[in-house]
Amino acid sequence: MDLVAAYVQIVGLLADFMSLRRERGSADIAEFTRWLTTHGHNEVVALIERNQATAVSIKAALAEDAKQIIAKLDQLERILASSALAGSPFAALALAVSPAARLSPQQLALLRAYEECGAGKALLMNYLAGAYEFAFLDAPGGYSPSEPRFIETDLDELVAFGLLTQSRNQSGGKVYSITRAGAHVGAHAMTGDSSRHSLTASP
């Protein structure tokens, strides 16, 4: 099994396992491997047994409270799946692990715009009649949302996933900075179909 594919699968299996024992607190790796064996995931068990770093990481995860680790795994699944959907060969696997986990086309378009322009920061400008525009502060160009009514929730999710960070300038305007993880997803999105997204250059 490819290591990247195996990593995505382990994240999904950990989330499933912890969801089943949500009210029972932490678990240990022996319980997890028994559960994997029972459900026919022998290849994953073999990987855990021969990779000490993987085993140590799983032990640390299982030691946490079930509800906390489920929340973290759910977020990680969404980021992994979103990155895969942006052009990686692991798209099918990521969707199999977490079918509903994906970024919207608008979210991918925004991250791609940062990468295409080489930008790190953008100021969100909110005009009358619900119009929005992103003006890049450290690179030429900008981005016009294709679905303005969803931009606020899209941005909230991108910040929650750690793909963007939000701050404010001296005038109170919202400034969004791309993270390394966001740049990675944006770079993958550059290989996808660009016809669905609205990307504009500033005058």
CB 29 within 8 A of CB 58: yes
The pTM for the full model equals 0.51
The gap from C-alpha 124 to its chain's centroid, in whole angstroms, comes to 21
Give the domain ranges of the chain.
Answer: 3-97, 105-200
Angle of helix 52-62 relative to helix 42-50, nearest 10 degrees?
Answer: 110
Residue count (the chain): 203
For residues 171 and 161, what is the distance between their CA atoms, to the nearest angstrom? 26
CB 120 within 8 A of CB 178: yes
Element containing residue 73 per DSSP (H, E): helix 66-85
CATH of domain 105-200: 1.10.10
- Which position has the token pair 């299982």? 62
Tens digit of each residue's pLDDT (9 = 90 or more) over 20-52: 766 565 678 888 899 999 988 888 888 888 877
Tens digit of each residue's pLDDT (9 = 90 or more) over 40-94: 888 888 888 887 777 887 887 777 665 666 666 566 555 555 554 444 444 444 4
Angle of helix 105-117 relative to helix 180-189, nearest 10 degrees?
Answer: 100
- In this structure, what token pair is assigned to residue 123? 């100021």
